[in-house]
Chains A and B, each alone.
Chain A
Amino acid sequence: MTDVTTTAVTGSQPEVAPRKHRHNVALWLSVGWLFLVIASAVLAPWLGFLDDPQKPLAGQPEEGPGWSHWFGTDQLGRDMFARSVWGGRLSLSIAGPAVGIGIVVGGVLGVVAGYFGRWIDLGVSSVVNVALALPALVFALFIVTMLGQSYINVTIAVTILTIPAIARIARAQALRFAAREFVTVAGMMGARWPRLLFREVLPNVVPALASIAFLAMGIVIIAEGSLSFIGVSVGSPSITWGNILAAGKGRLEDAPHIALITGGVMFVTLMALNFVGDEMLRRLDVREARI
């Protein structure tokens, strides 16, 4: 799966390159980084050079970054590089399904609302508007505390967060294309709504949604990180980026590498996701799509 990503991107390079060289380099770097993060997350159990992320005293406690422990060690002497990789693994395995489901559910809601309009639109838009006015983190907190801090429940909570935002964008896209000439013409030629929706509107909305998936991914990673940070995401001994930051928070003064390096990994990953997402939106000329 992952190589499809790279191949596709590589394939398109020559065409785009002449225009915006700088953007291209950044895009390359972003895609490369994402590939690295995703590949290490997927392959973590089979990477021989990775320490066991749970093994105490792999080094002295709170060792700084060095040759034997690239990212240093935490308070228990566990290897921080391994923990960052495994943290990314869990963070991504929450964000992936959350965004996937969010795109499907939000996309359907938005497209249906945008295409059919009237009371369906009114209903969907009302819910979406109010949902966007709610502090989403509280809602996620509420769900996780009530249902329990498990992988599934955290994923459910963050999935619910993505739906309204994605629905709003899908609706805007559907509205935009529903009014386009080719749809109107097809309608006049006697095509019925399923055909119009699936053959004419949907194919135009999907690419925008796909690029939005990158932006949504970033948002979900931040949301899960926030939950972890305040101590209500997936419980120990599971490792997420947010858990690592929360554990390192108290040791900022004496062992800043614990929180800062993982924070840095998170930051670069989010940059890359946002960059790829933005760039795709720009090339597809999608507006009103910022989440």
Chain B
Amino acid sequence: MLRFMGMRMAQLAVVVLAVTLLFYWMLNLLPGNPCVAAFGGAATQEQIAECERDRNLGDPVIVQWAKWGGDVLTGDFGKSYLTGRSFGEAINHALPRTLLLLAYSQILALGAAIPLGLYTGYKQNSVGDKITSGGAFALLSTPVFVLGLVLILVFAVRLDWFDLSGYQPISAGLVAHFKVMFLPAVTLAAGLLPVYLRLLRTDVIGTLQEDFVGTARAKGLPVRHVLIRHVLRPSSFTLLTIFGIQAAQAVNGAIVVEFLFDLDGVGSLLVAWVAAREFLLVQTLVALIAAVFVTVTTFVDLLYSVLDPRIRRK
């Protein structure tokens, strides 16, 4: 087990190192002095010199890269020269909103997918199943930005139930917060829901055919009890796995949703940094995101095999 985990981590490390080195090399090919660009063209000589020192521009690419890696590992993530904002400061500002957005959308997606998945799996091929599956299929074919636009038009513009005023923290009041966060969360959840739903349905159908479920039903336990205790529990591991895999997907969605709803979270930060050519900050952030995701998925895999005896035996 440890060996498996160690392997995964080693894989991750090698790939992240290779990818960042590749980025560094590509950045180096870009014309112009990145430090001149970083200040938006209007900087003093001292500012540019300081930036060049910070970024070790005098060194060969591989040394620059190694120094960057060292800085990141020691918690020095750099700063934006244009706004003077440090990486940490920017993340502190952006991360809570993105995490809340992701959390709400996962809650919504799971909250809808679990009952629907159990129902459609149990009542396979019923009318309800077909309608639900059709709906899921349609959702799967809807780009986030199209759905978001429709939701905005209907619920924010026409009905005026929600606000488009940009992020409101929880401290501004729960109502204000959810008036701003609900539509983005729904938009994002709509992309996750069909994936969860399809998976859960297949899983439920499979589990329902297993012996222990038959036994439970033969004992006369109520359907709901069987579904929740004997069917959902094993399926929760599958959900856990897909949850990990979908996380990267969710960040893609978050970028578009944050843009659409003006939320100024991590996705917006990435877009802004890319636009401002703050490639080093982008690289640092993407490397961190990748590390977090791979760690999470590895951990989920691990948990999966620890929790489900059938897998462990295999």
Contacts and interface: CB of A to CB of B under 8 A. Distances in A.
User: Do A and B share a direct contact in the complex (Cβ within 8 angstroms)?
Assistant: yes
Interface of A: 122, 126-127, 129-130, 132-139, 141-142, 145-146, 218, 221-222, 225-226, 229-230, 232, 242, 245, 248-249, 252-253, 256, 259-260, 263, 266-267, 270-271, 273-275, 278, 290
Consensus secondary structure, chain A interface = helix
5 contacts: A129-B11, A130-B12, A146-B26, A226-B143, A263-B146
A230 B259 contact: yes
Contact of A146 (B146, B279, B289): B279
Most buried by B among A133, A145, A225, A256: A133
A230 B255 contact: yes
B129 to A, nearest CB: 14
Contacts, number: 130
B144 interface: yes
B15 A127 contact: yes
A256 B153 contact: yes
Contacts of A273: 141
Given A132-B248, A133-B247, A221-B143, 11 more contacts: A122-B11, A126-B11, A133-B248, A135-B286, A138-B251, A138-B252, A138-B289, A226-B256, A232-B275, A248-B149, A274-B137
A137 B286 CA distance: 11
A138 B144 CA distance: 16
Contacts of B137: 271, 274-275, 278
A31 to B, nearest CB: 15
A225 B152 CA distance: 18
Nearest to B245: A132
A130 B256 contact: no
A132 B293 CA distance: 10
Contact of B146 (A133, A218, A266, A290): A266
Contacts of A146: 26-27, 30, 279
A270 B194 CA distance: 15
Nearest to A230: B259
B14 A126 contact: yes
B19 interface: yes
Given A230-B271, A253-B157, A260-B153, A270 B142 contact: yes
Most buried by A among B19, B137, B248, B277: B248
B226 interface: no
Nearest to A137: B252
Nearest to B19: A130
Contact of B282 (A130, A138, A263): A138
A263 B154 CA distance: 15
Interface in B49-69: none
B15 A126 contact: yes
Contact of B251 (A129, A135, A221, A232): A135
B132 to A, nearest CB: 16
B213 interface: no
A142 B256 CA distance: 15
Nearest to A218: B141
Contacts of B275: 145, 232
B106 to A, nearest CB: 16
A229 B289 contact: no
A126 B279 CA distance: 25
Contacts of A256: 153
Most buried by B among A122, A134, A266, A270: A134
B274 interface: yes
